[in-house]
Amino acid sequence: MKVLYDHQAFVLQSNGGISRYIVEVASRIKAFELAEVTVFGGLHVNNHLRYAEKSISPFGFYFNRPWRGQRLINDLIWNLGALSASADIYHATYYHPLTPPRGAKVFLTVHDLIDEKFRRDDPRYVSLLKRKAKVISDSDFILCNSNSTRRDLLDYYQVSAEKVGVTHLAASEVFRPARPDTERRNFLLFVGSRASYKNYTLLRQAYESFDFLYKEYEILCFGGGPLVANEIPCRGVARHMTGNDEDLARLYNEAAVFVYPSIYEGFGIPVLEALRCNCPVVSGSTSSLPEVGGNFVNYFDCMSIESLAEVLESVLKLGNAATMNDGLFDWTNSFSWDACAKATTVFYRKVLS
């Protein structure tokens, strides 16, 4: 079985979840000798592919910054090469329609339906949504990274349930508990984008409204760009920092609690990262989050400031962190890139058979 991945994610992202997912899965399929794997990286800007084993992407050339016309040139090279490429499975890495290799079954991974839920009426996303709908329609099989995303996909698109499967994502092995003598510090950790659906505003409002929070703790935002004026609480302290996975793992191990008030997620890797570090997690209970957090997260109503404050008080003052429940280690280890790669291969073979 020959599997071919295209260049799209690696041209769009220098770092990012979609490109990491492809590299993790493709590398393991090759390492386990489950299939012959080729990633056409093209003229890319992606660090995950840059440092991956060269044999999975012999047609990948790294540039340290994007340049005008990069995507168009890559698309042209792909479409010309696809006419003669030999592949049983073509796995698209994003939503731009490309010519599949002749005779190959077309796979697509849908990671979330954020655009459909929150940007449907935004003129900037009309073209993307049209392209996405076409790629979904043209695919022989679609993978989703959670059962929640699978349900959303079936709600928004006319797709047969039989051609949609689930392969859960995983977290990097760098996310693990620190030494037992590591002390937790008085900060509430928030990770990633602070776009509207991520609901950072709710955390800020709860923090500045309850004195047990703003008098005793800081908010620390990791990634997502520097804080702007309306993201800084009127009481207490909010700080921002950035770094790599090792830096983030250290913060998970030092934070008093990780707060994830997101209204919608396709999977929710930060929840899994925090749990792997034994960090208490306070999260909304919507979309895929309970699927990832299980019984090891303290959930709250992500529309209620009072609900968030109540749960934070329970965790911070009373020590009622769900991470103390039995079975956390087995739960987090059930999400692995090895399992994701093997499950993906099962779906490849199922479609071919």
CA 262 – CA 302 distance, rounded (Å)? 7
Residue 118, pLDDT score: 92
Asked if residue 215 and residue 133 are part of one domain, the reply reads no
Residues paired with 109 in a beta bridge: 143
Judge if 143 and 228 occupy the same domain.
no
* CATH number (domain holding residue 223): 3.40.50.2000
| Residues 292 and 244 both lie in one domain | yes
DSSP 58: T
pTM: 0.93
Tell me, yes or no, whether 12 and 109 share the same domain: yes
C-alpha pair distances (Å), 179 with each of 67, 176, 201, 250: 44, 10, 33, 11
Q: What pLDDT band is residue 84 in, cutting at 50, 70 and 90?
A: confident
* Euclidean distance between CA atoms 329 and 315, whole angstroms: 20
In this prediction, residues 35-57 reach a mean pLDDT of 92
- Are residues 298 and 319 located together in one domain of the fold? yes
239 and 105 in one domain? no
Total structural domains within the chain? 2
In a domain, 175, yes or no: no
Distance CA 268, CA 247 (A): 19
In a domain? residue 215: yes
Query: Residue 308: which domain range?
Result: 187-333
Summarize pLDDT for 236-289 with one digit per residue, the tens: 999 999 999 999 999 999 999 999 999 999 999 999 999 999 999 999 999 999
Residue 290, class by beta-carbon neighbours within 10 Å (0-12 exposed, 13-18 middle, 19+ buried)? middle
The tens digit of pLDDT for each residue in 193-249 reads 999 999 999 999 999 999 999 999 999 999 999 999 999 999 999 999 999 999 999
